[in-house]
Amino acid sequence: MIPERLELRLHDGTPVVARPLTPADRDYVAAGYRLLSPEARYQRFWVRQGEIIGDAMLNRLLTDQLPNHAIWTVFDPTREGFPGLGAASFWRSDKETHDAEFSVTVMDADQGRGVATLLLGILWLVAFRCGIETLTGYTMPENRRALRWMRDTGAAGEWDGYNAVFRWKLDDLNAIPNTAAGADLAERLAELSPAML
């Protein structure tokens, strides 16, 4: 059974909680989106301004639809104000049912702390348990930080003429490279597997 809550630590020792998002988190998700910088919004949602997180999107995003959709957040319960560090989701493909699109957003001030890798590890295991074989991530070619992170965590990349497309094969742990991010991912998978598989 997939746990409802995980108590973990970032590598800097910060205690965090990871859990699935639910319809009760509407205000939390909307607030997180508004707190992103214009550049972060552009890199993740491909728009710099505007409220793209409307009711229809929130309804779709926050409805529990396992095994076809999952969305998790990581937050610092001791942080004043907005406690969120980031969130990630996957959506199973209608056409390629063993594939799911993966996306992750980390708050500007929390980038570089291993939050994205922690979320990737969680959703890797949730997706694998749901029978998904491949997670596919898309990013803009100018988003060099995301490109490097995807490569460094073992995703194989290609260019589709518009986006950079990266795929993680969930049953091939040997594809995780000996990089800092790869070692972090491998460590997270080993740590999380007993609770999630």
DSSP 26: H
- Assess contact for 147 and 20: CB atoms under 8 A: no
Beta strands in the chain (DSSP E): 6-9, 15-20, 69-75, 84-92, 99-106, 134-139, 156-159, 164-169
pLDDT in tens, 43-102: 666 555 555 556 777 777 788 789 999 999 999 999 998 999 999 999 999 999 999 999
Report which of residues 19 and 42 the model is more confident about.
19
Beta-bridged to residue 44, according to DSSP, are: none
- Structural domains present in the chain: 6-196 (3.40.630.30)
Q: For 9-15, which contacts have Cβ atoms below 8 Å and span 24 or more sequence positions?
A: 10/113, 10/114, 10/115, 10/118, 11/113, 11/114, 11/184, 12/113, 14/76, 14/113, 15/76, 15/77, 15/78
Distance CA 66, CA 128 (A): 12
Beta-bridged to residue 15, according to DSSP, are: 9
- Amino acid identity of 79? R
pLDDT at 14: 96
Most confident of 56-60, 128-132, 140-144: 128-132
Question: 10 Å Cβ neighbour count for 1?
Answer: 6
Report which of residues 34 and 95 the model is more confident about.
95
pLDDT at 62: 85
| pLDDT for residue 28 is more than 60 | yes
